């Protein structure tokens, strides 16, 4: 393939990948407007967050012991049954749980990278988490479209384009929005809300507090950050496993349930704001 042909394919894939980004960004942008420069930097870092994962995969050639796919094959004959009639290979659970971890960690690292005190309230934390997800999805879609275009031809792109534009990009948005909510709670919950949420937390955090002996504010901050990340990771892993098992029929109800949960979190956030339980332009923790 000549360099000019390569450039044309990449440019074509970038144009295709931009359509879902523009569409989804327009939908969420109407809910909360933000600084353009900060928006662009968040999107850019989210887009670049894919490359450390590509570097990790490239290193598999030289350090095969860090190849998670190779490691997961040790469990390919082990199965887990669900409700007695569905069998899932443990190898899929191991591999795609790990994928969920690294993708969500990288997306949320983009939010951390551009935060530096610039997020002023919980709405900012949710919106910029979504923007980081759009950036990540943009690069990921370019790579998917490029692989299909180069190997099968552009005529095979329609179905993958529709699927990734509607389902995959939306899934990234949902998982990041969940993290954004907890990120906002961790930074902007007033003491009264912190106490309310602590009273409903699990005993695990009591043990965590005893081990690390953190102050109450620090413990609450770490609890909510980890809670949001773990929720995003688990739901992302389940989504990946559904794809691996070719259970496309369950994608719509799964994402509808996810959207309902995010809507629930948004309603809780609005209730917290109306009750004066959230800070704005100041933080409960650095």
- Reported as a single tens digit per residue, the pLDDT across 77-136 is 777 666 555 677 777 788 888 888 899 999 988 888 888 777 888 999 999 999 999 999
Measured on CA atoms in the order 117, 123, 128, 129, is the torsion positive or negative? Answer: positive
Q: Residue holding tokens 């350090």? A: 63
Count Cβ atoms within 10 A of the Cβ of residue 103 and give its class: 0-12 exposed, 13-18 middle, 19 or more buried: buried
The pLDDT > 90 percentage for the chain reads 41
Mean pLDDT value across residues 209-225: 68
At 17 the pLDDT is 94
- Of 229, 223, 230, the closest CA to residue 209 belongs to 223
| Top-confidence residue, 44 or 250 | 44
For all residues of the chain together, what is the average pLDDT? 85
Q: How confident is the model at residue 73 (pLDDT cuts 50, 70, 90)?
A: confident
- Of 108, 111, 165, 174, the closest CA to residue 138 belongs to 165
Mean pLDDT value across residues 187-196: 86
pTM of the model: 0.88
Mean pLDDT value across residues 2-15: 86
At 175 the pLDDT is 94
């Amino acid at each position: 393939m000549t360099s000019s042909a390569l450039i044309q394919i990449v440019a074509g894939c970038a144009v295709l990948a931009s359509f879902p980004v523009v569409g989804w960004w327009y939908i969420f942008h109407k809910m909360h407007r933000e600084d353009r420069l900060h928006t662009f930097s968040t999107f850019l870092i989210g887009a670049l967050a894919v490359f450390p994962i590509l570097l990790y995969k490239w290193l598999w050639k030289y350090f095969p012991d860090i190849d998670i796919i190779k490691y997961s094959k040790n469990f390919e004959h082990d199965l887990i049954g669900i409700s007695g009639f569905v069998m899932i290979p443990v190898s899929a659970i191991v591999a795609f749980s790990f994928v969920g971890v690294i993708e969500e960690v990288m997306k949320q690292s983009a939010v951390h990278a551009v935060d530096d005190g610039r997020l002023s309230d919980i709405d900012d934390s949710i919106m910029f988490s979504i923007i980081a997800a759009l950036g990540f999805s943009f690069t990921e879609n370019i790579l998917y479209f490029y692989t299909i275009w180069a190997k099968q031809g552009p005529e095979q792109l329609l179905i993958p384009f529709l699927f990734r534009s509607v389902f995959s990009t939306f899934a990234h948005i949902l998982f990041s929005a969940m993290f954004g909510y907890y990120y906002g709670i961790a930074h902007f919950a007033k003491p009264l809300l912190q106490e309310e949420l602590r009273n409903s937390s699990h005993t695990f955090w009591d043990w965590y507090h005893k081990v690390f002996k953190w102050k109450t504010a620090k413990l609450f901050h770490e609890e909510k950050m980890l809670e949001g990340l773990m929720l995003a990771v688990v739901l992302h892993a389940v989504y990946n496993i559904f794809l691996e098992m070719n259970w496309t029929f369950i994608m719509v109800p799964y994402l509808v349930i996810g959207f309902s949960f995010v809507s629930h979190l948004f309603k809780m956030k609005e209730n917290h704001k109306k009750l004066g339980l959230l800070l704005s332009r100041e933080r409960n923790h650095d």
